[in-house]
Every structure is written in C-alpha cells, then in structure tokens.
Structure 1
C-alpha cells in the first residue's frame, strides 16, 4: 500500500471527525464501550492500490470504522487480484471467502444488467442526483431488494463525478469514425457503443496501457484526468474526449455478505453506514481537487482535448434508451427498478434546470469570457 494510504494522511483531512459527527448519539462512547464483539473482516477491492483515490475509498471506510468502534470492528483491505480477481469479487462475497467488496456494479452486467443501475448507466444522473436517489429517493432499497437474490447488501461508498469519454489514437469527428474501433469500455456503455459500430473490450485498469501500446485496442476510457494521467494513456492516444455519456455520476458500492451484515449488532450497522458515507463524500471531494490539477497538466503535455461530437451523443442517447426498453422485456429486476429510476431522473432534471443549471451556465460562461 502506498504512503498516501496510511492512517495519518486520511485522518488528517478530517474524514473521521465528519464521520463521528454524522453518527451522532447512536455511536456515543457508552454504546461502543458496551459488550460488543471484536470483528475482523476482509475486503477485496475491484481496483489496484496504485490508483490511490478510487482504491483509497475502501481504506477511508476501514479507517473510519475502526476509529468509530474504538478498534473493535476492523476491515483489512486487499487490492484487486490479491485474494480474488476483480471480476470474481461479488462471487467471493456471496461464498463468504471475504465479507465485503468495494467495486462497481456495472462490472457485473453479465449476470444481469440491473447490477449497473445502482452505480450508473448511460445518460443517467449526476453525482448529486445519484446520491439523492440512492439515499432518499428509494434507490438503494430497490437495489438491495435485487441484490438479496445474490446474497448481497449494497452500501454507497464512493463517487467520481462525471467521467471523461476516453482516449483515442485517431481523431473522432462523427459516428462513422467509430466503426470498427476496438475500445476498452465496460458494461452497458460497451453495449451502447457496440450499436454505434465500436468493438467493446472489458479490461481491468492495469491491463489498459499494455493493450493500447500493443495496438490490441484503439481507444480506452477509465475515470478522469487524475487516474488517466497516472496510467499514462496520453503517451499513446493523444485525443481526449469529454464527457463520458455513460458515467455522469458513478457510485461505487460496498457489497456486503447479506448473512454477515444481518448478524451485525445495530451499533455496528450504524458505524458501517457512517464509515461508508465518509468514503463516498471523501472520494468525490478528492477527485474534484485532483482532476482540476491533472487536466491542466495533461493539456500542457500536448493532449488534444475534444468534446464528444454531437451526432455521437445523439446516436448513443437513442441507442441507450432503446436498450433499456429491451432490458425491460428480458429482465424482471430491471423492469421493476428502471421505471422508478427514470421517474426520479426526469423530475430531478426538471428541478436542476431551474437553479443549478441557471447558476452554473452563467458562471462558467462569464469566467470563460474573461470576466
């Protein structure tokens, strides 16, 4: 584990102070000092530890949980592949090989596309809207009803904000330029891109650079400027597109074994929930700081920043919602959750267009004009 992931660096940012405040009287000292068990869980991450921000979300949660419970409930974090490969993380939780995983639901759409709707789907909500839906709009209750069939409980525990549309070796001027492009892109986004002529490839983060270097793939998306710069994609594919229409507000979840979760004392459930909220808030804030610096560094290195062409966005929008209709006919869980998700999304968009969009669009235009 890198030095940036040690206890001091995270706790010095005030994460634990915020977590304790959120916990409130439920986690008062007398409750923790009571006759509660000492627990040692293991967590498998879906990410390598050199991606310190996204992997670090699990570390933030584990550190907060230990501090809140005075060390009585501890979780040891393992990077992807250290215990089990990333694609096997949920199976490992279900089988109780580990008690908990930290990963993205859309990695598991091969089981059921409904796994993705709890994390993010193309042309979905932004980060604030996603949190609103999950925490207070009924989203996580619907998602957990679906996860119960897999022996899992999902708790939001990380956010990236809107991601970037990826790195391309050649300039993409329209839909026709996507035909035959081999692109690393995961989950439902890959299925949408396939309808536009792309050949999607699902690769873990550590395998993307070698695949680009060898020419096995022509393009790749990962997260955003900070992580992408660390992975070195700009050295091979100079065109950097925005935004990722497929990840407007990704939520990473902690997936807990349902039996193990239900056996927890209520105090530990509250502590775990609070620690996960700390990780969720902290990750988004870190990315917002780190991406601001990294995008400037990438442009200074000669990266060609480009908006995703409008005809690609329009074609992808139609393809995405056609695909959602297909899912509704084939997957009962999707048919149950999607209408509620869509209703919340549409109503939230109507509200955000009033104050948030009005405020943001004026400010960004004014700043860009030099005022």
Structure 2
C-alpha cells in the first residue's frame, strides 16, 4: 500500500495529512437559493444571472449547490430585495436602482444620468471605496452586495414619435426607472418602472408611449421593434454601472472564508463577462433591427441633450439631499466620476474620437 495514501486515510497527525485532510472537512453541501428580477433564458441579463448561479456551483465543486428562480418563479421581479432581506431566499440578482424606494442612494450602484461608464464604475467599486459605501448602505437592510454584471452604456429607448425638441417629452408616458426616470419626470414625462417581462404588452397596448430597456442585444429579444417605430441609440440615463448580487447579510457572515471567496470570485467573473457579452452582441443586433425589421435609428439633438443635462444635475442634488448617507455616497460617486472619468476623457475618449474620425466608425 502507498504509505502516503495510508497516512491520509488513517488520519495520522502529520503536516502532510493536515493538508490532505482539509478538503474532506469541507465536503458538506450548502444549499443556496437565488431569486432574480430577470426572465428565464432571456439573452443578456437573464442568461448572465443563470450563468452566475451555475458558476458558483462549478467553482465550489458542488459544495455550494445553487437553486435559481427567474422572475415570477418564486417571487415577483421587484420582490427579490425583501425576499432576501427577510431570509426567505439567500441571494438575488437585480439592479439596485429598482429599490430606490428603500433608499435613494441605491441609484448610485446601478446607473446615474451623465455618470460613470461600466469601466469607471467598476474602478470605483473595486478600488475607489465604492464597495465599502455599498456595504454600509446595504447593511441597514440586512444585505451584502457584490457587483455581478452590467450592460455598458444603454440606449435612449423606443419611441412612437420623434423627439425633436424638449417639448416633445412633455406628456410622454415612458418606462424608465431610477434617476433617469426622475430626469424624464422633470421634463414633463410620466414615468413608470416595469420589469422587462411586462414592457412589450404595455407598449403594444398604449399604456406607455416609450420605453428604454438595455440596448440592441437585449431589446431585440423583447421584440420592441413590433411596438415602436423609432430607436434612439444614444442615451443619458444609464451610461454604465452594474447588476447587484444581493445576499442576506446574516447568511453571508455565516459562510466560511472559502465559501465567501468562491462566491466573490464567481461574481467578479460574471461582472466582466456580462459587459463583454453585450459589447460583443450590440453591433450585430443593431444591424438586425435595422435590416430585418426596418427600425428607424435616431439621435437626440443638442437641445434635448442640454435639458437632459440640466435636469440630471437637479436630480443628482435631490438624491444627495435625501439623507446623510445619500450625501456621503453621492459625494464619493461624484468625486470618483471627476477623477476617473476625467482621466479617461483625456486618454481613452480622446483616442476613440480620433479613431472614429480616421476610420469613419460613426
């Protein structure tokens, strides 16, 4: 018999045996129930959430056994926050700006009009103190959050009429959540927050006149081209940010360091993959929207962009004024935007502008 194998199985106390025996101690399986705001098998956001749930099980070699429920399968799309905070499920995947009714500052952890792009936001979260602020805010609700994916810069949305002036926004009924919705409300629109699975029916029925969702890749599969004529690819409301993997804080703190590391690694992996996927697919699906379905592309003119900007600054201040915590988060976010975004404007944005000019990329 191989002596090393005998020692490990016999449990003789040697340094080598301690190393070999450690995995055996961790063999017990921990169940993890994950609920989501996104529809099952929906390209982009839905598949990203499912991929993350599967990856946690894979990385843990089955020692964390995830059970994933898409929107409506266990709880409603917007009920995931309360479900996890209350301990009925262990974790959720969603966008935290859906929960600004809980605290206004959650908006800073998804998307801010004229705010950070996804690379900038992730830099702030991981290396600029954003995660610590997110932890402080979430702890008041019994939650722990990690970034777990994103969409990049989102499109301005689908409209049944052209937006040629700020006046065209008045009286518009539009699906747009978060601070972006507050901006549109200031400009005279009537806004609602709907989960993805309810957008199409509301647009077709006329309950709403316009909607934003994500971008060409995700929007294509909602078939929004059947319900609206004009697609504004440029958007101010959600230039970046990310999805949240929200976990019950008590449950999270009961995990071993190894289990926390596995979940964190899976979230970080998907945080990159989610943005990469939509970046790879948006160009293809924009072409399909135009060439296969006759979608008419439009851009907001500078008069509209100017009023967007004015309203966005007002909304940003109003969110900051909500509370001491909102001011703390908002001040940190805005400072990071100037520092991180300011450098990128001098480097990457300047490069992109010249590249697009030289190679006529549009």
TM over 0.5, shorter chain: yes
Q: How far, CA to CA, are the matches of 1:47 and 1:31 in structure 2?
A: 38
3-state SS, counterpart of residue 355 of structure 1: helix
Q: Say if 1:160 and 1:249, in contact at 8 Å, map to a contact too.
A: yes
The gaps in structure 2 that reach 5 residues or longer are 1-18
3-state SS, counterpart of residue 155 of structure 1: strand
Give the total of aligned pairs. 343
The CA deviation string for residues 9-58 of structure 1, in whole angstroms up to 9 with x for no partner, is: xxxxxxxxxxxxxxxxxxx9976444353101110011111423211222
Q: Say if 2:92 and 2:246, in contact at 8 Å, map to a contact too.
A: yes
Question: How much does 1:169 deviate?
Answer: 0.4
Q: How far, CA to CA, are the matches of 1:265 and 1:126 in structure 2?
A: 34
**Residue 204 of structure 1 is aligned with which of 173, 195, 213?**
195
Q: How far, CA to CA, are the matches of 1:234 and 1:123 in structure 2?
A: 26
More moved, 319-328 vs 226-235: 319-328
Q: How far, CA to CA, are the matches of 1:71 and 1:369 in structure 2?
A: 46
CA RMSD of aligned residues (A): 1.7
Tell me the residue number matched to 1:342.
334
**Residue 126 of structure 1 is aligned with which of 117, 124, 136?**
117
Q: How far, CA to CA, are the matches of 2:215 and 2:353 in structure 1?
A: 22
Match status 1:363 vs 2:352: no
Larger radius of gyration: 2
Judging changes above 3 Å, is the alpha-carbon distance between structure 1 residues 335 and 32 closer, same or farther for their aligned structure 2 residues?
farther
The gaps in structure 1 that reach 5 residues or longer are 1-27
Q: How far, CA to CA, are the matches of 1:229 and 1:322 in structure 2?
A: 33
Q: How far, CA to CA, are the matches of 1:280 and 1:317 in structure 2?
A: 28
Question: How much does 1:271 deviate?
Answer: 0.6
Q: How far, CA to CA, are the matches of 1:293 and 1:104 in structure 2?
A: 25
Q: Say if 2:41 and 2:47, in contact at 8 Å, map to a contact too.
A: no
Tell me the residue number matched to 1:49.
40
Tell me the residue number matched to 1:155.
146
Question: How much does 1:75 deviate?
Answer: 1.3
Task: State TM-score, norm by structure 1.
Answer: 0.89
Question: How much does 1:126 deviate?
Answer: 0.6
**Residue 305 of structure 2 is aligned with which of 313, 320, 333?**
313
Question: How much does 1:268 deviate?
Answer: 0.6
Task: Give the alignment of 1:100-249 within 5 angstroms.
Answer: 100-249=91-240
Q: How far, CA to CA, are the matches of 1:292 and 1:33 in structure 2?
A: 48
